[in-house]
Structure 1
């Protein structure tokens, strides 16, 4: 997998309270990913970018909420996330990532 595709597959880490709890308890990390990314691509991208071994990948599509604004009805963007489980003993430190 070329370096350009790695950065297109993984859009950003998703940092939230739930994601932090998953990282501490289950060695799972959450990433926002491209809508066309596949599980094997996600696995290769995480392994190449962070130099870790991935045990499994789960993806979820989250539909954007419809919200009322001053100008009428609006809609938030749809989001696709990947829950990546690492092999026991592996760790990702986002503050020290290359």
Structure 2
């Protein structure tokens, strides 16, 4: 695996209606580096956001969608998504406040 630092693991947050509803249960969804492991994701969240303690990490690999441009067929890039659950005594993640 490539040398992935903790600030390279989390790419961007996923902002959808389903992920916003899960924030009430202290579950946050992020797009992450495709080669990142669950332990790397846990460490990255705890280092990037002060006062957070991760309870569990669920990951899913998303294959690229098939796209056409005329007769040419291609695929979009594949990605990886992580749902991070925080403990009860953990602080909330501030980037989601006000959304």
Which SS does the other structure have where 1:64 is aligned?
Answer: coil
Distance 1:15 1:44 in 2: 22
- Does residue 76 (structure 1) correspond to residue 95 (structure 2)? The answer is no
Which SS does the other structure have where 2:5 is aligned?
Answer: helix
C-alpha distance after superposition, 1:41-79 (max 9, x if no partner)? 111110110021110001000101102223621211111
Higher helix share: 1
Q: Which runs of 5+ in 2 are unaligned?
A: none
Question: For residue 36 of structure 2, what is the aligned residue in structure 1?
Answer: 37
**How many residue pairs align between the two structures?**
92
TM-score (norm 2): 0.82
Which SS does the other structure have where 1:37 is aligned?
Answer: coil
Q: Which runs of 5+ in 1 are unaligned?
A: none
Cα RMSD (Å): 1.8
Distance 2:59 2:40 in 1: 12
Question: For residue 93 of structure 1, what is the aligned residue in structure 2?
Answer: 94
